[in-house]
Amino acid sequence: MLRTQSNLFRSAIEMSNMWKIKFHGKERPIAVSSSWNEQYEDLFLEEGPIDYIYDLDVPEAWKERRVRFYFGAINTKSKVYINGDLVCTNEIGYLPFECITKTLKYGSTNEIRIEVENKLSKDGLPAGRMPGFEEEGNFPPANFDFFPYGGIIRMPYVEVLSKASITDINFRSDRSVPSKKLGIVEIAIEVTEESVGKDLEISIGDLSQRKKISGKQVEFHLEIKDAKFWDVDNPYLYDLRARILSDREVFDEYKVKVGIRTVSLDDKHILLNDKPIKLLGFGKHEEFPIEGQGTFKPLIVKDYDLLRWIGANSFRTSHYPYSEEWLDMADQLGFLVIDEAPHVGLEKYHMDNPQTVKLCNENIKKLINRDKNHPSVIMWSVANEPDSAYSKSDEFFKTLYDTAKSSDPTRPVTMVSCVPFCKKSGGPDVAMRHFDVISVNRYYGWYNHQGKIDEAEKLLSDDLDALYKEYKRPIVLTEFGADAISGFHANPPQMFSEEYQSEYIERLFKIANEKDFVSGIHVWAFADFKTAQNIHRPLYNYKGVFTRDRNPKMAAHTLRKLWKGR
């Protein structure tokens, strides 16, 4: 499923005008794409269902075309109706889905109505509160540490194109030889049935190939000599173009920017183009005041500017896939991304539930299908902080690993563990052994051994050494950090002060950085973010080195000195 595109042969119309919502019989305007929670005071804690309504004029000329509705993401469950007819449903948040329908009225105004529900439940993902904890924990009852925003959070489009059209492109360059500057490229293109009998032409750089379409997939193999490899210092992007044509008539065209690069591992390092890299950066969230988890393009630009200012080269899309605009800019600027599925807060219940297992596997397939062509994405993460000490998590995560590997054998796969420290079941982690890279969240000196940075240094050092001795694989410290309320100072440093956060991050970073098997160090978190209400979170999680509105705390300047030397 390709994202929509406008060019000479297809048109993508952004349904970005004000929508209407209907709730409790009352209609009012709402902005799309964004969450509903902070646009209206009475919707702050609402879970729906809420009806979104949009009037779309459909010209008569569309009758001879293929019309596709593409929804970037809706949180979380949705039913799409056109002129009262149910045309598709979706239960996966943070990822796109499409509707192709024959119920349109051409030469007329059509009512698009989307019923959206964001109810937190033990069966949903991200998960709601688990059975037995009804009176404890967050409100809203999220089984995760960020606010459960609902609504049409990413832009919906209607795309008009030829019935003979391209439906998917899969670009691979993992067999390339960086030392010889040889780009070995494999391209698989899927097309509609109406395309059979026509020609498919692809071009990349100075090379092109043309083949007769005999089925719904066409494969190409090209070798690019003196190839320009994509990396963090020179993120070179090639323009890949695919066209369906017959004689001199062009029916469809799709363009995508791609990077030739390889990702591999040895027992200590992540290798980009056969050279070791160290990930320096953050876990972060895609959220901002008023917008919630909506796609706010000025914020994307601002965050990348701050990432470059501080000297970061990477981030993890914790704890769900971000909008593709984030990845477009990572491709362009040379940032490395650990792309994470929306699986946070998985407990025993989920691993024993066939419905949840099926949904997790579908999520991973959709994530990889959406993001597989982004050179910036160097690793897939199938979950964050699950109960991977549970005995059945061994089989559960082996299944998720296999799903990711069969969907994309070109990238390493990881799972972010916090076991044994964050789960009541204790340790050891029984699922970590299945993954290519060992990723761990550790909060010595914060959630345990509070205020004792000396002890935290030794505990982290011993922990990392033990992990490497056990697994002999590259390790990424995916989270460590401390809350700091902006403007709160203490001498000597004390918890929640900017001084404590700054000293804590500097000292623990240095401990991890001296280990040659630690291939990545990500601070939690890039910026403060909103959470559900609980006694540990006064409005926000304050572990950001930037405030929620992106002003630097003392720790941001400390990291800039560590990462850029100034």
- Residue pointed to by tokens 């001199």: 248
> How confident is the model over 432-491, as pLDDT tens digits?
999 999 999 999 999 999 999 999 999 999 999 999 999 999 999 999 999 999 999 999
pLDDT higher than threshold 80 for residue 263: yes
pLDDT at residue number 307: 98
pLDDT in tens, 383-419: 999 999 999 999 999 999 999 999 999 999 999 999 9
Q: Provide, rounded to the nearest whole percent, the portion of the chain with pLDDT above 90.
A: 91
Query: Hey, what amino acid is at 182?
Result: L
> What confidence category does residue 198 fall into, taking pLDDT thresholds of 50, 70 and 90?
very high
pLDDT bin (cut points 50, 70, 90) of residue 16 is confident
Res. 134 pLDDT band, cuts 50 70 90: low
Tokens representing 334 are: 């040379």
pLDDT at 562 over 80: yes
Please confirm, yes or no, whether 385 is among the known catalytic residues.
yes
Cα separation of 123 and 349, whole Å? 9
Q: Which of 286, 291, 385, 503 is catalytic?
A: 385
Mean per-residue pLDDT over the chain, rounded: 95
What is the predicted pLDDT for the residue at 138?
84
What does the pLDDT look like over 81-112, one tens digit per residue?
999 999 999 999 999 999 998 889 999 999 99
Residue 229 and residue 109: Cα distance in Å, rounded? 49
Peptide bond connecting 343 to the previous residue in cis, omega within 30 degrees of 0: no
pLDDT of residue 248: 84
**Mean pLDDT of the region 333-348:** 95
Distance of CA 124 to the CA centre of its chain: 18
Q: What is the pLDDT of residues 479-495, one digit of tens each?
A: 999 999 999 999 999 99
Dihedral sign computed on CA atoms, order 89, 95, 100, 104: positive
DSSP reduced 3-state for 135: coil
User: What pLDDT does 107 receive?
Assistant: 98
- Is there a catalytic annotation at residue 186? no
Structure tokens at 481: 């950090």
Rounded distance between C-alpha atoms, residue 335 and residue 282, angstroms = 12
**Which residue is catalytic, options 340, 479, 498, 503?**
479
